[in-house]
Structure 1
């Protein structure tokens, strides 16, 4: 399945409208022929169709519930679509875009088979076998492998905060698709976030080191420092961000945070699509935002920056220039 980020929004919307139209029991043969011509026009159409169809198969019950609200019926502009079909298309596309922001794997088997996992808007705290405490943010999946020689955490996707136990001499490592975080012996408190091809490490207590997955670059990270890395590269260490642990209290402490990052974070705490206009992605956000009340967080964002929150439906919300 093609990454949804490579498919234009307009193409996804067309695919969603076609998908809904073809589900009707009385769908005429002529409409099938029109859909087939549209599908053959471009490989992007085919990628969009496969993506939307996959969402439809996996989330049919949720999609039907969303469609029942009947909001934003005027959005369906394809000739022949009923008002009910238009609502379904927007609801479906909202769910699909949400998944695209965080990766298809969140809803797939990778999340279902993890040792520990969370869903949308869910935080979880667990005590590990060595006495360490692990907090999982929303849409997070972690595997644990503890034996007589080492303690291994595999962060498949999402965000965790780890309070490591000091009384265990076995090596403690957190692996992501980008590399490995080696936690130094002794007390340590650190946050690790895996998002779309890059990992962020915040160290609040103790120290750790990072080794990239592909080039094996290595960098120590001390208490009070943070670092971003990919499979092939390391950024320079910066100051640890309060946001890397404030989410465990239900708050997002934004200190010169890009608006894009704040909106992406809020999106993990609500169902449906929450996006932003690219032109405002780099606006700097300061303040504290409640994660368990994303509507209040969006109101605070409107008050703090020259932006407006546009709500097409309960499932489709975007932050745009004021």
Structure 2
């Protein structure tokens, strides 16, 4: 016990606790120690830095976790010919048992999500750089963006979609009123009125963007009608109309990011959904504004375009680590 009566065990450091300068140092040592020409002097310098402060060890552990995750993706690709066939079979059986023949799935499976096992915890799951398209009974379409998990209940009054994480786009204009899917998140329920809309769910908040028609928002005992062109955010403080430009809702269904005077941070976060590894940017470039169109299936070209357009430097440290700082 410590002198003040509290446990002397230190609370583990998380990535959010680490100063940006320490993370930068960890990236620097990752490059040096990953070089085939590393010297004994380099190794000693690394060990001295690593043991100089607990934050250094926490930062290095964070780097190792990212590298291991990326290595897993590469190893998974080598097992694809056998594993993918088995997963397709198991998933067909699971869908047959739970949903019968009422739900048609149009999906290109990527190994990143399925090998992690999350497809068994939820009805549908996409990983990094993956998208999916579902056709519901009655004709409504549901697009899943990358890193999205979704459950579907067809036994209730009309299709009920439970979005646990990520972003979906719902097209329900052609569906009858009883077949229009309601979207549930932790913060709200979104009910369409002959419409096309997106719901983006992250820890602590849900965002709605309506591109056609209307959507009713039910949250915290209140109802709010949203019309085409509006964007709303729901969190513990209430339901808030969002203003200003940004990313065009749903452009990712065409493998695009369309930025209209958007914050660079917003564009980089969107690109990160479609790139294995980690895009790390300094806070002094987060609020730079950008207008342009970028392909999510060619993130290298998108990052090069950003570097050409903005006063930033993009450093490809490794295949899985990108650093972005001000020039």
Instruction: Give the corresponding residue for 1:195.
Output: 202
In structure 2, do the counterparts of structure 1 residues 106 and 179 end up closer, same or farther at CA, with 3 Å as the change threshold?
farther
8 A Cα contact 2:146 2:273, kept in partner: yes
Q: Residues of 2 paired with 1:158 and 1:244: CA distance?
A: 14
**Which stretches in structure 2 are left out of the alignment for 5+ residues?**
1-11, 34-46, 77-112
Shift of 1:259: 0.7
**Separation in 1, partners of 2:68, 2:302:** 32
Check the 8 A contact 1:290/1:297 in 2, yes or no.
yes
Alignment of 1:37-116 (within 5 A): 61-62=72-73, 112-116=120-124
- Counting matched residue pairs gives 263
- CA-CA distance at 1:305 after TM superposition: 1.5
Contact kept, 8 Å, 1:119 with 1:139, in 2: the verdict is: yes
Q: Say if 1:173 and 1:11 are closer, same or farther in 2 by CA, change over 3 A.
A: same
Measure the CA separation in 2 of the matches of 1:49 and 1:313. 15
RMSD: 3.8
Counterparts of 1:106 and 1:120, CA distance in 2: 11
Q: Secondary structure at the match of 2:304?
A: helix
Q: Map 1:1-322 to 2 at 5 A.
A: 4-8=15-19, 10=22, 61-62=72-73, 112-164=120-172, 165-169=174-178, 172-184=181-193, 187-212=194-219, 215-238=220-243, 243-322=248-327
CA separation of 1:235 and 1:108: change in aligned 2, threshold 3 A: farther
Return the offset for 1:217: 4.3
Distance in structure 2 (CA, Å) of the matches to 1:52 and 1:256: 32
CA contact (8 A) 1:224 1:240 kept: no
Structure with the greater relative contact order (CA < 8 A, sep ≥ 6): 1 or 2? 1
Contact 1:217 1:233 survives alignment (8 Å): no
Decide whether aligned partners of structure 1 residues 46 and 151 sit closer, same or farther in structure 2, where only a CA change above 3 A counts: farther
* 1:114 Cα offset (Å): 1.5
Q: 1:51: Cα distance to partner?
A: 6.8
TM-score using structure 2 length: 0.67
TM-score normalised per structure 1: 0.68
**For the Cα contact (< 8 Å) 2:140–2:171, is it kept in 1?**
yes
Please say if residues 144 and 154 of structure 1, whose CA atoms lie closer than 8 Å, have aligned partners that are also in contact: yes
SS at match of 2:279: strand
- The verdict on how the C-alpha distance between 1:49 and 1:176 changes in structure 2, with shifts beyond 3 A counting, is farther
Please say which structure displays the higher CA radius of gyration.
2
Distance 1:230 1:47, change over 3 A: farther
Distance 1:209 1:49, change over 3 A: farther
